[in-house]
Chain A
């Protein structure tokens, strides 16, 4: 059985990304950058309406336009099922074409005449949940999930020493991958090659084959470099099949990359989350009950569920009633820790409110409610470490008493994620007589450093420098590996690489064992030599060993094995913020992150995952919001100018501590670091301003409304009692826009 080296040479070191030089210098060719001989540009015409019936599509003018080689409807009006003639959201595909230049394609698309019958739509959850609302789908706009209930909630709340009650919510955000979704398709007879910006080359092949009705053996998918996915590029999309059809129809290669507006409208988003919560603690600060009525929207699709209460703290009695709400908007899809940022935000904010009511330090309240058994006791260690690093001891009670408009505050939150690895992952390794090594695995590097990790494990196993091994990924011609999602890539591909390379090394050991007079099982490779495990002098240089292969390389296949990876990560984050109460503007001063992830392969890229997750969490906390016009259902900020993403000056000092756990094997780290950032920031803002932040994003409007509400409450003299009112419903609070999908 394969194992990780006890004294690794490379693993765990901060190793530079192997594709850094080609990326930094602009030499890496992403899908967006590819040019194929005779290549055309594809362009999709999309619905401008949130809901409409397509009555006719007239391609004739577009077909005659300069440069156009092929045009096709996407909505099939010959389909006898009338529902398929409807467009359900702005940005849904209606027709497509391919032209010689991008400009010609754009011109021609505007010549496609589409007759729409505009239909009533719903743009917000409030609109959608009204009884008289137009129905997005015939089965109604609200899909109720089963009630999940443990214990007697009413009794437990009644018996609680302190209860908080409120409405909490988060916004819809988009993945905003910098490289938009898209691909280049080229046919050679019946064989299709697709260069795709995808998180799953094998998945893309499977989807294209089914979508086009051709065998998987006729398709090759390649993704050497891709510009971000964050969960939105795991499956096939309409444009993938459309691009292949355009290329077939035109008889030329076609590149179809979405523009930014299309990307914002139609390639997925993180659903909103709403929760009406009642929660209690007893006199000892032990959580007693958590009752939540929740809803959210994933647009014209389901799946707006999220874990609540977030499954970290022990709460004996709980009830959860969830509804998915359809609206006429682009469909949700997995986005970096699906459900968790929403659940963590609501839960951790409720916890801070309970701590305030109970007169407890929020950190103390958390420590009193963490599980005791391993591995979850990690949080018990990490919280005090993070507290030390952020300077928790200087935390003031809720409401910075310092005079002046700038208020400081601290907050914290925890995260958990599964990770794991896929046992279906396969690899292939060749050792050549000249000493060359090639490791092939059909995974893809979505920016997380996969190529680097595979290379490190390969080099480690053969005791060679990084630059003496070749790693080939990102192609369906290589053995099957799963999609890069769910933080399972490292747990899938590094064990598989280790297993495969160990197998290849064993084959080499067989060849040289007689000559060395050593049991082949006792032969290892290190420092450029192949030698007896207990006696490095009994061996030979790597190249000499390979010469013994004669003319035939070693070629072995390997498959993932258990024992090299684990499931489960834990982490905590602390935020130090500064809020200007005269403008409502929050600046994050510092984030502290304590995170475990098992055996670290590359310390540099592992740390970068934390920096990246936190940065995305800051965007979620403060800035990002997909805003749909409530009256038309059309997105008002389908761009990067008013869809606000954090930039350099919005990023605080970030202090990352990775907790090494080599004994656990590898555990994925892609998702967990982004989960708790917004929750920690929200709690820090509340701590700073002395008013409750109960929804995201924490815009100036949000902060000023919270302050106004707190002042109104003070005037009413209702301090200390449960808050029965909802944000925005309080007299004195300015009416605020909370953005799109409500």
Chain B
């Protein structure tokens, strides 16, 4: 790890003042679960690190019945929040599966959403990949078993955040604070594909921070997240999916379905939503929606198996949301 100076920001204003405009030179640290490893591997080499753990960490209902989550709230605070679990089960289910107890105890909601990719080419210093300003994506003809099955590149990471998936599905909004004030960015606009933003994964500028996430009132929905990972202990998901169903009796009136760990951004499956709308949830209709979700998948040389896994995650998320057995 390169040495760096340290600023302990007492509030948003101090934090933003301490951040600079040059990408990578000054970085915020919250739980550190992502950044410390990046620095140890010399992938991040900031000159200054700004502690933002003392910023907003409240989890509270909004006046309109939605939910506001301070970016500095830890994952365990979210998991243990009874109100959040009741109203936004898909969010809390995703949070409960992140990493390990130790990671959930230190890692924050903002840090989870804004973490850098876990691509092993990105994380190993030896590989000067596109995302590090290098000439190529090593995954294209390399070891791409964990890489994206959606998107056209040129970088084939999968987005590392599990929380991003339900946040997008619930229609969440990120409050972004910067030197010129605050702005709200819908989750659908927050995450960026590599062709829009190769060096980052979202719209945050170097001197901006997410201060909190707001979820709109959930309305009369049933929702669930299904994560599929290989190791049952600590492992990254091979795929996950959030399904949010608005029901009319036994019929799905509207659906929001988002997949994770399959693309450089949380990947909304509108074809699956359309396929499910107007149907009663059964193994067959959930399966058909899942088929639709992965119909346009473009697997790489070594990750076709992930298409099947993503399909299963979608199907099971739908069944789980509907309160049906998943296997």
Contact = CB atoms under 8 A, between A and B. Distances in A.
Interface of A: 48, 90, 103, 106-107, 404-406, 580, 582-585, 587, 622-623, 627, 629-632, 634-638, 641-642, 644, 646-650, 699-701, 704-705, 734-737, 739
B327 A623 contact: no
A646 B141 contact: no
Contact of A636 (B143, B232, B301): B143
B127 A585 contact: no
Main SS of the interface on chain A? loop
Contacts of A650: 231-233
A735 B301 contact: yes
Interface in B153-204: none
A584 B305 contact: yes
List 10 tightest A-B contacts by C-beta distance, closest first. Answer: A647-B233, A734-B304, A737-B302, A649-B232, A636-B120, A701-B305, A582-B312, A649-B233, A737-B145, A704-B305
Contact of A107 (B3, B118, B228, B238): B3
Nearest to B136: A631
A634 B305 contact: no
B248 interface: no
Nearest to A733: B304
29 contacts: A48-B125, A48-B126, A103-B3, A582-B315, A584-B308, A584-B309, A585-B228, A623-B231, A627-B143, A629-B142, A635-B124, A636-B121, A636-B124, A636-B143, A642-B120, A644-B230, A647-B233, A647-B234, A648-B233, A649-B232, A650-B231, A700-B230, A700-B305, A701-B305, A704-B308, A737-B143, A737-B144, A737-B301, A739-B143
A620 to B, nearest CB: 14
A630 B315 CA distance: 34
Contacts of B308: 582-584, 704
Contacts of B312: 405, 580, 582-583
Interface string B222-266: 000000101111111010000000000000000000000000000
Interface string B282-313: 00000000000000000101111100110110
B6 interface: no
A585 B230 contact: yes
Contacts of B299: 734
Main SS of the interface on chain B? loop
A218 B261 CA distance: 57
A709 to B, nearest CB: 13
A132 B232 CA distance: 43
Interface in B129-150: 138, 141-146
A637 B72 CA distance: 30
B36 interface: no
B17 interface: no
B36 to A, nearest CB: 13
Interface string B305-327: 10011011001000000000001
B1 interface: yes
Given A629-B142, A634-B124, A735-B302, A647 B231 contact: yes
A468 B159 CA distance: 60
Contacts of A699: 230
A405 B315 CA distance: 12
Contacts of A648: 233
A700 B238 contact: yes
B143 A630 contact: yes
A583 B231 CA distance: 12
A734 B1 contact: no
Nearest to B234: A647
B197 to A, nearest CB: 24
B155 to A, nearest CB: 16
A634 B126 contact: yes
Could you say which of A632, A638, A739 has the most chain B C-beta atoms within 10 Å of its C-beta? A632
A700 B301 CA distance: 15
Contact of B305 (A106, A622, A630, A734): A734
Nearest to B302: A737
A644 B138 contact: no
Given A106-B1, A649-B233, A704-B305, 5 more contacts: A627-B143, A632-B142, A735-B302, A736-B305, A737-B144
A630 B234 contact: no
A152 B234 CA distance: 51
Contacts of A735: 301-302, 304
Nearest to A404: B327
Contacts of B327: 404-406, 580, 582
Contacts of A405: 312, 327
B230 A630 contact: no
A106 B2 CA distance: 9
Nearest to B313: A583
Nearest to A705: B305
A634 B127 contact: yes
A741 B305 CA distance: 21
A106 B127 CA distance: 20
Contact of A701 (B145, B235, B236): B145
Contacts of A700: 230, 238, 305, 309
Given A106-B1, A583-B312, A699-B230, A632 B127 contact: yes
Nearest to B290: A582
A90 B228 contact: no
A734 B145 CA distance: 12
B233 A631 contact: no
Nearest to B125: A48
Contacts of B305: 584, 700-701, 704-705, 734, 736
Contacts of B311: 582
Contacts of A739: 143
A402 to B, nearest CB: 11
B124 A638 contact: yes
A297 B165 CA distance: 42
B138 A632 contact: yes
Nearest to A738: B302
Nearest to A582: B312
Contacts of A701: 145, 302-303, 305
Contacts of B1: 103, 106
B126 to A, nearest CB: 5
Contact of A644 (B126, B235, B303, B315): B235
Nearest to A580: B327
A705 B120 CA distance: 24
Contacts of B121: 629, 636
Nearest to B299: A734
B278 to A, nearest CB: 25
B314 to A, nearest CB: 11
A580 B311 CA distance: 13
Could you say which of B118, B138, B236, B305 has the most chain A C-beta atoms within 10 Å of its C-beta? B305
Could you say which of A406, A583, A631 has the most chain B C-beta atoms within 10 Å of its C-beta? A583
B143 A629 contact: yes
A174 B127 CA distance: 22
B118 to A, nearest CB: 8
A637 B119 CA distance: 10
A646 B120 CA distance: 20
Contacts of B146: 642
A583 B229 CA distance: 9
A455 B228 CA distance: 48
B309 A646 contact: no
A65 to B, nearest CB: 12
A623 B228 CA distance: 15
B231 A646 contact: yes
Contacts of B125: 48
Contact of B141 (A406, A582, A631, A736): A631
A739 to B, nearest CB: 8
A623 to B, nearest CB: 6
A732 to B, nearest CB: 11
B271 to A, nearest CB: 20
Nearest to B325: A404
B112 to A, nearest CB: 16
B302 A736 contact: yes
Contacts of A404: 327
Nearest to A106: B1
B126 A623 contact: no
